[in-house]
Copies of this chain bind each other. A is one copy, B any other.
């Protein structure tokens, strides 16, 4: 199990002893997916919270009209899960699909209680990363309200330059909440401006 990237991520927040790391290894699972495979499908319960060791994922939602809305993209060192489905163990509205061959380390829901009990530091760790996630998600709502499509695209480009290269443009459009045609228009407009 290539757990190193996860451990060094965790060490940014709390320090783990050797024993704690061993205990973690026993309770986490590593899993590889091929490009195109699903980590989660809508209607299923999200049974794991996953950390991306290698690869790229998209989390999306298909609305009543059959329209696909990309809600979140993920690359190395990001977390992916439907947190609502995970904490309540209720069916998810989201799909999580791999855009490349992808390797995840997964925290199973039914091991979380034990993990928190044995390593209370991880309760602190997860509190902190969820706090950060909430702050980031709130900022995203604000951007969606106060920026227009072009500004949102420029922000995205600047914030996640590495992601833009790895995934098709129509998914970025969906993530930004616009059509692929309009994103195309924006890009040609930007190109003209120089």
Is A134 touching B141 in the complex (CB atoms < 8 A)? Answer: no
Is A83 touching B134 in the complex (CB atoms < 8 A)? Answer: yes
B-contact 0/1 string along A132-163, CB 8 Å cutoff: 11111111111011100000000000000000
Task: Tell me the nearest residue of chain B to A124, going by C-beta.
Answer: B123
Is B177 touching A145 in the complex (CB atoms < 8 A)? Answer: yes
Is A138 touching B71 in the complex (CB atoms < 8 A)? Answer: yes
- Which chain B positions have C-beta within 8 A of A123? 120, 123-124, 127
- Which chain B positions have C-beta within 8 A of A124? 116, 123
Task: Tell me the nearest residue of chain B to A176, going by C-beta.
Answer: B145
Q: In the bound complex, what is the Cα–Cα distance between A131 and B146 (angstroms)? A: 26
A67 interface residue per 8 A CB criterion:
yes
A residues bordering B, Cβ < 8 Å? 61, 63, 67, 69, 71, 83-84, 87, 93, 116, 120, 123-124, 126-128, 130-142, 144-146, 177
